[in-house]
């Protein structure tokens, strides 16, 4: 067994069996050892008498809850032990159950121990009262209160110890990357509740023991306590100290819980991408530093979101997400894809007759309509080149029907342009005409440039061919031209409507390319 697994086994055994049993056992031994100081003498005689009665019912009621609780803890711990030591045999539901129990184990284990202790106390005192009906009432009440408080002390000790062992030895192995919040909600003590529990165990209980000791030494009983508080300054001081210590403890816990609740609420809002959320800082201690860190984190995330949004406007959001989720290095990969290249005709002459502001206005509206058509069919715009558009289908997001999508995009672009031209005519602007060239083939997609300045783009002969095919549109008086590679990949119903324009030797290429047109106006 490896050292890490041995530590886990030791921690598991301590948390689920040794610590709960030891907490109750040591508390019981200490309570019995000190009982002669805090219990009335008449009850001590009664207590000694119970030891000589050899009453089996009393023995069973005193000790039976503890083995029962131990058996319950054994079955409660089975999912955890299977997960820790037989993880490869656990399914998803078993893992989730084990994780949930690991997070809640300190509380559940301590509650089991506390329940067993209190049951044992009340049942055994009830049996003693039955055996000795003439016993003084103050003796029965005194022992019940004291041993009930000892149970709270055992609970606090067990909870603190198991929680520490769990956080140090079990949780780091089960939740190495965090994520406890998913399992911890709704069944954990708040800071105020923990403070009250530990105040009760560490302050209230010792003082009550001292009060009972004082009552014993001054020959008073518990029914005279209210008189002593009014007549004895010592008891008044004790009552006042208890009151103020409780107020101080709860106030201190609230002073921690309030800013932590604010920070928790702020982080939940930040998770919902409400990055304008801010935490109010009340102090300069660790909580104040934590609040400052949350505020700085929110500002950083807001800035990151603005950059991401701006980046998504400059490049296609899908390309943005692709770049953000992959390593930024030079180079790329070869893929099969379809390139759509479009260009406005005679736009240079149109620009000469208009101001730069008017030209920009026309281009922006044109690009908006063309972008809508491209995005609807799943393509992404690689770049705008003056009044030209280079769109890619099939990368970086793979698609089997990239040729069909590119072809349908061209038809959509023409329809959008027709509608846009109608609007331009109403505004007294000139109609626009464009040519579209489509080619399918292998190309390189990736980052090009230098190590400190890169551009995500597509390069290769396929891109050049699409550009050259578009250049034939004006001479052939066609709005849409596609190559044979693309024609062979589109649906048969569309292919039957294509018209062969001939074979053309494109600029920069030695081989000829068969060019097809589609009758759109």
Least confident of 217-226, 286-295, 320-329: 320-329
pLDDT of residue 77: 87
* Alpha-carbon separation of residue 305 from 310, 346, 381 (angstroms): 8, 40, 22
Question: CA 440: distance to chain centroid?
Answer: 43
Instruction: Answer yes or no: is pLDDT of 152 > 90.
Output: no
Instruction: Answer yes or no: is pLDDT of 483 > 90.
Output: yes
Question: Is the whole-model pTM more than 0.75?
Answer: no
State the pairing for strand pair 480-483/434-450. Answer: parallel
> CB–CB of 57/127 below 8 Å?
yes
The residue among 140, 143, 124, 151 whose CA lies nearest residue 53 is 124
Reported as a pLDDT band with limits 50, 70 and 90, residue 434 is: very high
Reported as a pLDDT band with limits 50, 70 and 90, residue 391 is: very high
* Coil vs helix vs strand at 136: coil
Instruction: Answer yes or no: is pLDDT of 219 > 80.
Output: no
pLDDT of residue 16: 86
Instruction: Answer yes or no: is pLDDT of 490 > 70.
Output: yes
What whole-number distance in Å separates Cα of residue 439 and Cα of residue 406?
A: 9
> CB–CB of 319/396 below 8 Å?
yes
**β partners of residue 482:** 438, 516
pLDDT of residue 412: 93
**Backbone torsions φ then ψ of 329, nearest 5 degrees:** -140, 155
Reported as a pLDDT band with limits 50, 70 and 90, residue 217 is: low
Reported as a pLDDT band with limits 50, 70 and 90, residue 452 is: low
pLDDT of residue 185: 66
pLDDT of residue 62: 74
Strand locations in 130-247, DSSP E? none
Reported as a pLDDT band with limits 50, 70 and 90, residue 43 is: low
pLDDT of residue 41: 61
Structure tokens at 382: 């690689």
Reported as a pLDDT band with limits 50, 70 and 90, residue 113 is: confident
Q: Between 101 and 408, name the one with better pLDDT.
A: 408
Reported as a pLDDT band with limits 50, 70 and 90, residue 439 is: very high
Q: Between 341 and 28, name the one with better pLDDT.
A: 341
Q: State the chain's mean pLDDT as an integer.
A: 80
pLDDT of residue 370: 93
> Exposed/middle/buried for 457, CB within 10 Å: 0-12, 13-18, 19+?
buried
> Exposed/middle/buried for 296, CB within 10 Å: 0-12, 13-18, 19+?
exposed
Instruction: Answer yes or no: is pLDDT of 220 > 70.
Output: no
Percentage of residues in the chain having pLDDT higher than 70: 81
Q: Considering only the C-alpha atoms of the chain, give the largest distance between any 2 of them, rounded to a whole number of Å.
A: 122
């Amino acid at each position: 067994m490896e050292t890490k697994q041995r530590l886990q086994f030791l921690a598991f055994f301590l948390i689920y069996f040794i610590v709960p049993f030891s907490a109750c056992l040591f508390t019981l031994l200490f309570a019995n050892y000190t009982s002669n100081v805090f219990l009335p003498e008449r009850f001590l005689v009664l207590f000694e008498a119970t030891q000589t009665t050899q009453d089996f019912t009393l023995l069973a009621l005193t000790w039976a809850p503890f083995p029962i609780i131990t058996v319950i803890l054994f079955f409660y711990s089975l999912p955890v032990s299977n997960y820790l030591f037989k993880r490869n045999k656990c399914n998803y539901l078993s893992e989730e159950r084990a994780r949930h129990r690991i997070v809640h184990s300190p509380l559940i284990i301590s509650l089991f121990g506390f329940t067993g202790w209190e049951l044992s106390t009340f049942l055994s005192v009830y049996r003693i009262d039955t055996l000795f009906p003439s016993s003084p009432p103050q003796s029965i009440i005194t022992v019940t209160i004291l041993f009930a408080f000892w149970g709270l002390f055992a609970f606090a000790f067990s909870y603190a110890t198991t929680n520490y062992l769990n956080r140090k030895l079990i949780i780091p192995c089960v939740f190495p990357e965090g994520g406890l919040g998913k399992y911890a909600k709704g069944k954990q003590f708040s800071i105020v509740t923990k403070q009250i529990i530990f105040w009760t165990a560490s302050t209230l209980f010792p003082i009550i023991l001292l009060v009972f000791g004082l009552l014993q030494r001054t020959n008073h009983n518990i029914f005279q306590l209210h008189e002593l508080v009014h007549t004895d300054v010592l008891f008044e001081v004790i009552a006042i100290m208890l009151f103020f210590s409780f107020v101080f403890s709860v106030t201190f816990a609230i002073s921690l819980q309030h800013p932590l609740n604010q920070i928790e609420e702020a982080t939940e809002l930040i998770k919902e991408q409400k990055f304008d959320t801010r935490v109010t800082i009340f102090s300069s201690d660790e909580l104040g530093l934590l609040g400052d860190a949350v505020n700085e984190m929110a500002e950083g995330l807001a800035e990151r979101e603005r950059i991401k949004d701006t980046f998504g406007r400059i490049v296609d959001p899908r390309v943005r997400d692709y770049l953000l989720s992959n390593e930024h290095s030079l180079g790329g990969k070869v893929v099969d894809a379809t390139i759509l290249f479009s260009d406005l005709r005679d736009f240079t002459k149109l620009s000469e007759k208009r101001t730069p502001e008017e030209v920009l206005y026309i281009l922006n509206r044109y690009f908006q309509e063309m972008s809508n058509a491209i995005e609807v069919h799943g393509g992404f715009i690689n770049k705008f080149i003056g009044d030209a558009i280079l769109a890619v289908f099939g990368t970086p997001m793979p698609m089997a029907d990239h040729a069909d999508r590119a072809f349908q995009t061209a038809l959509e672009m023409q329809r959008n342009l027709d509608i846009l031209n109608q609007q331009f005519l109403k505004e007294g602007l000139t109609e626009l005409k464009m040519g579209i060239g489509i080619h399918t083939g292998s190309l390189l997609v990736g980052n090009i440039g230098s190590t400190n300045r890169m551009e995500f783009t597509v390069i290769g002969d396929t891109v050049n061919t699409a550009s050259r095919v578009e250049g034939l549109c004006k001479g052939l008086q066609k709005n849409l031209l596609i190559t044979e590679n693309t024609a062979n990949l589109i649906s048969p119903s569309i292919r039957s409507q294509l018209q062969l324009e001939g074979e053309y030797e494109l600029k920069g290429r030695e081989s000829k390319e068969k060019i097809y047109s589609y009758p759109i106006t």
